[in-house]
């Protein structure tokens, strides 16, 4: 079954300064049950929302199957974690119309390719 596993909307960047310093602690509440996405702006409340430099990549998706066991969105810093959905292939590089996601909902209702 295809589904959304996790959603992340972090209000602050965690990697600042030198890479050797590692990430800052994760703020509470960055894993959410629902996100709102605005066309051309990204996820409302996310650190990259409406940032000019991130308008072409303001929502990131990763498949759970591509991650090692126990790794989630907090570690990989992506916005949408899916299960049973190929994040590459025919949809790769195409624009998607993403309106809203809820954790656990059936993904085909949430993603409509333009």
53-67 pLDDT tens trace: 766 667 888 889 889
Confidence at residue 102, expressed as pLDDT on a 0 to 100 scale: 57
Show the domain range for 28: 3-113
Confidence at residue 89, expressed as pLDDT on a 0 to 100 scale: 41
Confidence at residue 21, expressed as pLDDT on a 0 to 100 scale: 83
Confidence at residue 17, expressed as pLDDT on a 0 to 100 scale: 79
pLDDT tens digits, one per residue of 35-53: 888 877 888 889 888 887 7
> Measured between alpha carbons, how far apart are the two ends of the chain, in Å?
23
Single pTM value for the model = 0.71
Confidence at residue 104, expressed as pLDDT on a 0 to 100 scale: 60
Distance between CA atoms of 91 and 113, rounded to whole angstroms?
A: 7
Ranges of the chain with pLDDT below 50: 89-93, 96-100, 107-114
Q: Which of 97, 80, 83 is nearest to 34 (CA)?
A: 80
Confidence at residue 103, expressed as pLDDT on a 0 to 100 scale: 57
- The tally of domains found in the chain comes to 1
């Amino acid at each position: 079954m295809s589904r959304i596993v996790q959603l992340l909307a972090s209000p602050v960047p965690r990697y600042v300064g030198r890479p050797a310093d590692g990430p800052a602690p994760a703020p509470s509440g960055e894993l959410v049950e629902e996100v709102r996405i605005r066309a051309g702006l990204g996820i409302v409340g996310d650190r990259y929302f409406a940032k000019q430099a991130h308008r072409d990549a303001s929502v990131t998706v990763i498949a759970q199957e591509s991650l090692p066991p126990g790794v989630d969105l907090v570690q990989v810093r992506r916005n949408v974690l899916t299960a049973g959905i190929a994040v590459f292939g025919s949809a790769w590089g195409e624009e998607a119309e993403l309106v809203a996601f809820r954790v656990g909902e059936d993904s085909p209702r949430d993603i409509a390719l333009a």
